Structure 1
Amino acid sequence: MSPAPVLRAIVRQFGIAAQCVELEHAAPPITEPGNVAVQMKLAAINPSDLITISGAYPTRTRLPFIPGFEGVGTLADGSRVLPLGSAGAWQQIKQSDADWCFPLPAWLSDEQAATSYVNPMTAWLMLTEALRLPAGARVVINAANSAIGLMLLKMAQQTGLEAVAMVRRQSAAETLDTAYPIVIMRDADDQQAVQQLRTSGGVDAVLDCIGGQGALTLAQALKPGGAFISYGLLSGEAIPADFWRHRPDIAFSYFHLRLWVHQASRAQIASKLDEVFALIRRGVASTAIAAIFPLADISEALHFCQQQRPSGKVLIHCG
């Protein structure tokens, strides 16, 4: 008897995720030497998934493909793992390289496991590997009310940094912990926000996930020799070409989690994951869950993400 087909999401053309992601039943993947079959339980919908589906990285994304960079599943022996290193979490069974499957502590819930990689690892690596600032240094975190922004605020505090939360609206500021200094930067040319930062002593580093003209404006608040890390482009606009002409003195870098994990050893990745798991247990890197949709309702889940813009993560139940 042939094995029962499995359900998976698939992208055959680039575009808006809610319009491009299809569902299909397919034969279970054949497990190749060195690989394992991971029965996916929960998978996350991340901005990086939506950007990839849009066609932003056509040179490294070959059609058709199964989306999903983050999720939790089980192996044949019942152990839970994070299958990292490749896309394909939005399906019932993912064939994954055994060396890229990382075990999970028993106390970690499936929901927190499914969101323990993309945001927490990005945030923690930027603070502990990319920046390495001394205690007391001042760092600005924009989009501070986002899932990763909230993590960065807490993690920065854990490492002894002074975190400044930056948002676009007063309503967003009111949702933040008042333990952090809060600056409202209403638009990409808001010089008042920059002056507020300068008047209070300037900043040693900027963690920017918005890009565009706002990056050039925000860089004006950096002290001489400060650090600017770009890790996202929520504005949809690249950092202006004259950015480097205006601030040639600063240490500028891009941070991409994908590049770090593919250059690191398994032992290094496992060590950083253990640090992240400990932060999740203390509530520093835990993730709010906005909704969970069955895989069969992937279209509704994507519409929910793009129309509602939830503050918490949207998960897909793959089982």
Structure 2
Amino acid sequence: MRAIQITRHGGPETLDVTEVDDPVPGDGHLLVAVTAAGVNYADVSRIAGTYSVAVDLPFIPGSEVVGRTADGRRVVGLSFDGGGFAEQALIPADAAVDVPDGVTDEQALALLVQGLTAWHLLRGSARLRGGESVAVNAAAGGVGSLAIQLAREFGAGRVIAAASTSDKRRLALELGADAAVDSDPAGYAERIRQANGGQGVDVVLDANGGAAITAGLEALAQFGRLVSYGDAAHQGRPSIDPGRLAERNVSVAGFWLRPALALPLAYREPLSELLSLTAQGRLRPITGSRYPLSDADRAFADLIARRTTGKVVLLVA
């Protein structure tokens, strides 16, 4: 079968199309004829050799796949062991979830890492309660665009989007945000408070890190929670004074999806909910950038250069 295989660490130039043996499913795994595979920033780190969990070479990247099982089921699934950038892939049987009619391959893939992250940020880390206000940074990104919509579904009283350009802020408003502000850390807290009727917000979700965390803390109301789930700005880790947190009873949490999915009821149930909401038209995953499997190197180059929009997908079948 055709697959994208890396034999050395580096950049997009290491992504080679090659012929490899078909995978053979063992106990607890399903063989899936892949129709499309999702591309994530974590794949960039795996290919570069900088991911927190080392991979053995040669390696077939790709943890998100959608396709058909031998008995004809159309499923979407997640496997942190890779193997998705290929015509056939193995996924744990308990990670394969049926895709409802009306949900496209691209939408289903957008609900895996990004959708599950948004779900857990709001339900688990932030412990969002009905009527609370939420500020979503990087609001036009894969996680942020879904977090805006899910915050609404979960009963948020007011949702404020923060993004770097007017086009991104316009998209956030189309997705249901009540207000959208510039995400520049300078003046961020003032803009968030103004958008929230002069009050701090109950929850801030941040993927930028660095100065955005410091600014986000200043935007919180009493007993507010900031959840950090990324470091896109690459500005280093900010110094946080516990005494300053105590002054307003605010807290900071960090989130990483991989260990969270090991918890009971953390994968199939929320993913099924996300797929159902999408099938009903109540959730709109942002899709757009699609590449044939043979152009995986171009897909990664565009992703790294921020030339992509929506969920980045490799079309396999």
- Map of 1:278 onto structure 2: 276
**Residues matched between the structures, number:** 308
> How much does 1:19 deviate?
2.4
- Map of 2:219 onto structure 1: 221
Q: Given the two structures, how large is their TM-score scaled by the length of structure 2?
A: 0.88
Secondary structure of 1:176's partner? helix
> How much does 1:97 deviate?
2.6
Q: Does 1:7 align with 2:9?
A: no
- Map of 2:24 onto structure 1: 30
Secondary structure of 1:262's partner? coil
Distance in 1 between the 2:111 and 2:141 partners? 15
> How much does 1:185 deviate?
3.0
Aligned counterpart in structure 2 of residue 64 of structure 1, from 45, 49, 58: 58
In angstroms, what is the RMSD of aligned CA positions? 2.3
Whichever residue aligns with residue 299 of structure 1, its letter is D
Provide the identity percentage: 27
Distance in 2 between the 1:299 and 1:212 partners? 30
Secondary structure of 1:314's partner? strand
- Paired residues of 1:42 and 1:73 also in contact (CA < 8 A): yes
1:182-235 residue CA offsets vs partner (Å, 9 max, x unmatched): 22132x4x0x22123345101111100100122112211112321111111111
- Map of 2:253 onto structure 1: 253
Distance in 2 between the 1:85 and 1:264 partners? 17
Distance in 2 between the 1:170 and 1:234 partners? 19
- Map of 1:262 onto structure 2: 262
Name structure 2 gaps, 5 residues minimum: none
Distance in 2 between the 1:305 and 1:208 partners? 20
Aligned counterpart in structure 2 of residue 40 of structure 1, from 34, 37, 43: 34
> How much does 1:254 deviate?
1.4
Cα 1:91–1:196 change in 2 (3 A) is same
1:39-63 residue CA offsets vs partner (Å, 9 max, x unmatched): 1110111222223323332544333
- Paired residues of 2:203 and 2:220 also in contact (CA < 8 A): yes
Aligned counterpart in structure 2 of residue 19 of structure 1, from 13, 16, 30: 13
Structure 2 matches for 1:92-241, cutoff 5 A?
92-161=87-156, 162-177=158-173, 180-186=178-184, 188=185, 190=186, 192-198=187-193, 200-241=198-239
- Map of 1:51 onto structure 2: 45
- Map of 1:3 onto structure 2: none
Q: Given the two structures, how large is their TM-score scaled by the length of structure 1?
A: 0.87
Name structure 1 gaps, 5 residues minimum: 1-5
Distance in 2 between the 1:244 and 1:283 partners? 43
Cα 1:157–1:98 change in 2 (3 A) is closer
Distance in 1 between the 2:27 and 2:148 partners? 43
- Paired residues of 1:15 and 1:55 also in contact (CA < 8 A): yes
- Paired residues of 2:203 and 2:224 also in contact (CA < 8 A): yes
- Paired residues of 1:151 and 1:284 also in contact (CA < 8 A): no
Aligned counterpart in structure 1 of residue 302 of structure 2, from 295, 304, 317: 304
- Which stretch of the first structure deviates more once superposed, 157-166 or 242-251? 242-251
